[in-house]
Chain A
Amino acid sequence: MLLRLDGRPCGQAIIWYDQYDPEAPLARQLARAANSSFWECWTTRQIGMTPAEPAPSQIPSASVAVCTRERPDDLKRCLDGLLAMTGQPSILVVDNAPKTDATRQLVAQYPSVRYVVEPKPGLDHARNTALDQAEGEIIAFTDDDAVPDPDWFSCLLRNFDDPLVMAAAGLTMALELESDAQVAFQRLGGFGRGFQRVIYDAVVVDPFDSWKAGAGVNFAVRRAATDAVGRFDPALGAGTAAHAGDETDFFRRLLAAGYKIAYDPQALNWHRHRRSMEELEQQIYAYECGSFAILTKALLFERNPRAVMRLVRWLRQQIPALVRERRRAADNGLPFSIPVAQARGASAGPAGYFRARRQARQA
């Protein structure tokens, strides 16, 4: 459950339906289950202080891009959400290597939404097309299976006052927790990156840990970022042989070049997590595959010795985790083993990246 104070998302409480006691006051039950960021906001508010919010001197021109592939039902919910936001940005739908006409027909029902096709498969091809086609200085990206909160877009934009902030990311909560797989994904952390606003730079976070700054489902970039560090790498991301790592690699390059990334939990959207355990396992596999594709890229194509240190650190954590898994099944109620899925993904990463590069060149 998301907790808001004065409309601002500030924390979460986790209570199962059958644990709710209708006799006791709700506020007390929520408070007992709340997390630290809620307590910080609440106590600050009780003292009579307002949390320091970024107040931009001017809002930059901006638009929203949705990269989609054959998910018309989800996309419809996403577009309805985008059109219900406060402050209407222009919206662009990038249809990535479509097989059917469903997406085109759906977008045709929304006269204010622009539609472009990117025939080359791969999320980063679609993202780069969005950068070319979308209007404005800032381009916000969301996934077709996500729905924005009414203030999502304006909260993302307010972070761009500092010219060194090249990207901003927001908080993503679960749209539904119906299946075990969705609960399991949320338990593992989901797409949220905490409830505290943080400005990341290469001092706060190792550029190779840039995934901590945000997720691809909820972020915005400054157009000038592509002049500074180049475009999204088309050999990464969903739809390629590297499976993932698209925005993580972009964030990594931004941080390594000395730019900042703002994480602002007020920029809230909701994501429909994968419903089946098979999809969840595939997702965990894909993340590790993408992260090893990035390591491969850094080591062989950028000659960055940090990648070796990262690999050593990964082995030091992963081998004990695998051993632990062998000895006793983990208590997370999953039908598969996370460390094994990760190890499989990791070993597929380097070859996947080479294949994806070849595909990207041929396309």
Chain B
Amino acid sequence: MPSSADSPMISVVIPSHNRQALLAQVLDALAAQIPQTPAFEVVVVLDGCRDGSPAMLAGRSDPFSITVVELPGTGPAKARNAGVAKATGRLLLFLDDDVIPTDRLVSAHAEAHEANPGAAVLGPYPPEPVASGERFRLDARRWWTSHFEEVAAPGHRFTYRDLLTGNLSMSRELWDEVGGLDPQFAKAREDWELGVRLMEHGAPFIYAPQALGWHQEHLTTTPNGALRRAKEEGRSDALMALKHPRFVRLHAAPRQLRKRSWSGRLRRILLPRLGLMDRPVMAAGPPLLRLVERLGLGGLRRWLDRQLRLYCYQRGSIEALGRHFATFGTGSSAEAPPPLLEIDLAEGIERAEAMLAEQRPVAVRLHHRGYEIAALPYSPAAEPWDARHLRAYLTHPHTLRKLAPILAASQFGGDPADWNGLAPLHMIGVTDFIAQLHESQRQWRRSVER
């Protein structure tokens, strides 16, 4: 493989846990990258593998070197850290063992780094298109698909939540500066937590659409796994709030448990004492959901699914926070409100963009001669607002509804107040067909009455 001195040497780090067949497919796909791909090595971290993965790896002959690290089963965060410790490349590319790369993935990551040195490059890994009518599959697929659609949308404002480790690359230097993954987030949210530190560090996030991998989600996520994960997420979100106090308010579980309703009270009393119930709940939940689904009770299934996830999430959170979970986050956090930039859109949209590009504010109030249009909100560990975010934010339905009368008055004449009364303006952004049907019927009725 050609390797000149100035081309980046890439290390592909893949943690794996008992997925021999998928891991082999990932390596096959890496062996079939396009010829222009820069030289790379692969570091596979076998984390508690008892399915013959080491023998499979030993039997392979690939056009790249494979370094194998074996761990006793410590979770993906530690596994990735251990993989990086053995990596020699200047660029680290993290892939999950259920993400099968397309043939441009590695080169697309390399190109993105050439164009944006010092960035964290995010590649998409939407679910492999395999049809399933099961509600669980449909929901999981929807989450992944819409996540990558959002990140890909023009003018997307990146936050720490966009950082996922399934298909991610950054320079070794940046990794060392932020200190790698935090091993206390052993099984969930280790990616978001890294995202927080990358954002604080000021590393730009870059989305590389060509760096596409197909997530074999249909083979690796299960309803049982989703409940276990919900508990881990509850635990990790609590740890996140403990580590980064800015996230205390965002941690939902204590707020949910403080509710004054009877169900809130019941949960407050019962949940801390239910430790022994976790396993039975997690085991009985998925078959129960399947039964309800088969009976055709869609609404009940949705409710039950939500309750089960909530139970697991809150249990995880209580375990991490201990006895004072209910009062967590109620103390006076004397956080100063973020500075607010005021922008008058009457001065023109280009002027507003220039102000954003120049000042890079964390929060903005947009108004038109004093009439409030929108607030570009503060959110923790997110990119500061920039010119390229503005127009995309203005096309959100709630902002369009406020802008339309102003623009209509200047285009068609009259006063914004005349146009503000138009009923259709309040339906901007509605995609539901029945709502549109009723709107059309109202239109007919209005035209007949006039």
CA distance A78 to B431 in the complex (A): 30
Q: Is the CB of A304 within 8 A of B411?
A: no
Contact with A along B378-393 (1 / 0, CB 8 A): 0000000000000110
CA distance A302 to B417 in the complex (A): 56
Report if A308 contacts B (CB, 8 A).
yes
Evaluate contact between A15 and B404: CB separation under 8 angstroms.
no
In the complex, the answer to whether B441 meets A187 with C-beta atoms within 8 Å is: yes
Q: What's the minimum C-beta distance from A26 to chain B, rounded to whole angstroms?
A: 10
User: Contact between A228 and B431 (Cβ–Cβ < 8 Å)?
Assistant: no
Given contacts A40-B397, A48-B349, A258-B138, contact A206 B298 (CB under 8 A): yes
B296 and A306 contact, CB distance less than 8 A = yes
Residues of A within 8 Å of B129, CB to CB, are: 162-164
Q: Is the CB of A46 within 8 A of B391?
A: no
B395 and A44 contacting across the interface, CB-CB below 8 Å: yes
Q: Which 9 pairs, one residue from A and one from B, show the smallest C-beta to C-beta distance?
A: A306-B296, A36-B427, A194-B436, A258-B131, A36-B424, A196-B431, A258-B133, A305-B296, A14-B447
Cβ of A36 and Cβ of B425 under 8 Å apart?
yes
Contact (A49, B433) CB under 8 Å given A28-B413, A164-B131: no
> Taking CB as reference atom, which chain A residue is nearest B423?
A36
Residues on A with C-beta less than 8 A from B408 are 31
Which of A43, A186, A188, A306 contacts B403, CB < 8 Å? A43
> Can you report 11 A-B residue pairs in the complex whose CB atoms are below 8 A from each other?
A12-B443, A14-B443, A15-B447, A25-B413, A35-B424, A39-B422, A42-B404, A43-B428, A188-B441, A196-B436, A256-B133
Q: Is B444 an interface residue when CB atoms closer than 8 A count as contact?
A: yes
B contact face: mostly helix, strand, loop, or mixed: helix
Task: Give chain B residues whose Cβ lies under 8 Å from the Cβ of A15.
Answer: 447
Q: Do the beta carbons of A47 and B394 come within 8 Å of each other?
A: yes
**A17-52 CB contact bits vs B (8 Å, 1 = yes)?**
001000001011001111111111011101111001
Among B391, B413, B414, B444: residue with most chain A CB under 10 A = B444
Which residues in A have their C-beta under 8 angstroms from that of B437?
A: 189, 194
**In the complex, what distance in Å separates the CA atom of A321 from the CA atom of B290?**
35
Contacts of A32 in B (CB 8 A): 422
Within 8 A of A (CB), among B397-439: 397, 400, 403-404, 407-408, 411-414, 422, 424-431, 433-434, 436-437, 439
A196 contact set on B, CB distance < 8 A? 430-431, 436
Chain A contacts with B in 48-78, Cβ cutoff 8 A: 48-49, 52
In the complex, the answer to whether B412 meets A19 with C-beta atoms within 8 Å is no
The reply to whether the CB of B440 lies closer than 8 angstroms to some CB of chain A is: yes
A203 touching B142, Cβ below 8 Å: yes
A193 within 8 A of B: yes
**Residue on A nearest B437 in the bound complex, by CB:** A189
Q: How far is the CB of B400 from the nearest CB of chain A, in Å?
A: 5
Across the interface, name the chain A residue whose C-beta is closest to B447.
A14
B450 at the interface (CB under 8 A from A): yes
Whether A304 and B436, one on each chain, are in contact in the complex, defined by CB atoms closer than 8 angstroms, is no
Q: Is A250 engaged at the interface, CB distance under 8 Å to the other chain? A: no
Interface: A338 (CB within 8 A)? no
The answer, yes or no, to whether A195 is at the interface (CB within 8 Å) is yes
Closest residue of chain A to B428 (Cβ to Cβ) is A40
Interface residues on B, range: 35 or more
- Answer whether residue A202 sits at the interface, using C-beta atoms and an 8 A cutoff: yes
Q: Considering only CB atoms, which chain B residue lies closest to A206 in the complex?
A: B298
B132 at the binding interface (Cβ < 8 Å): yes
Cα(A188)–Cα(B411), bound, Å: 33
**Contacting residues, chain B, for A49 (C-beta < 8 A):** 391-392, 394-395
Chain A hits for B392, CB < 8 A: 49
Q: Which residues on B sit within 8 Å (CB–CB) of A300?
A: none
Residue A309 lies at the interface, judged by CB distance under 8 Å to chain B: yes
Number of interface residues of A (CB under 8 A): 57
Which residues from A are CB-within-8-Å of B142?
Answer: 201, 203
Known contacts A40-B428, A40-B429, A202-B138; is-contact A48 B391 (Cβ 8 Å):
yes
Contacting pair B139 A203 (CB below 8 A): yes
Kindly list chain B residues whose C-beta atoms are within 8 Å of the C-beta of A27: 411-412
Q: Assess the B444–A187 pair: CB atoms within 8 A.
A: yes
Kindly state the separation between the CA atoms of A228 and B131 in the bound complex, as whole angstroms: 9
- A residues within 8 A CB of B446? 14, 33
Output the least CB separation between A23 and chain B (Å). Answer: 13
Contact between B443 and A33, CB atoms less than 8 A apart: yes
B407 to A, closest residue via Cβ: A46
- A308–B296 Cα gap in the complex (Å)? 9
Pairwise interchain contact A39-B404, C-beta atoms closer than 8 A: yes
Q: Report yes or no: A35 in contact with B439, Cβ–Cβ below 8 A.
A: yes
For the complex, is A212 an interface residue (Cβ under 8 Å from B)? yes
* A39-B412 contact, Cβ under 8 Å, with A187-B441, A258-B131: no
Partner of A194, one of B296, B404, B431: B431
Residue of B nearest to A187 (CB): B444
Contacts of A212 in B (CB 8 A): 433-434
Highest count of chain B CB atoms <10 Å: which of A35, A192, A256: A35
Contacts of A37 in B (CB 8 A): 436
CB neighbours (8 Å) of B347 from chain A are none
Beyond A33-B447, A49-B391, A162-B129, whether A189 also contacts B440 by CB under 8 A is yes
Chain A residues positioned under 8 Å from B394 (CB to CB): 47, 49
Instruction: Note all chain B residues with C-beta closer than 8 A to A256.
Output: 133
Complex CA distance for A13 and B450, rounded to whole angstroms: 14
What 0/1 pattern do residues 130 to 143 of B give for CB contact below 8 A with A?
01111101110010
Q: Is A259 an interface residue (CB 8 A)?
A: yes
Is A301 located at the chain interface by the 8 A CB criterion?
Answer: no
In the complex, chain A residues whose CB is within 8 Å of the CB of B276: none
**Interface pair A36/B441, CB less than 8 Å apart:** no
Evaluate contact between B447 and A47: CB separation under 8 angstroms.
no
Tell whether B58 is near chain A: CB-to-CB under 8 Å: no
Q: How far is the CA of A35 from the CA of B349 in the complex (A)?
A: 26
Chain B residue nearest to A211 (CB atoms) is B433
B284 contacts across to A, CB distance below 8 A: none
CB neighbours of B413 from chain A (8 A): 25, 28
- A49-B441 Cα distance, complex, nearest whole Å: 30
A257 interface contact, C-beta 8 A = yes
Is B336 engaged at the interface, CB distance under 8 Å to the other chain? no
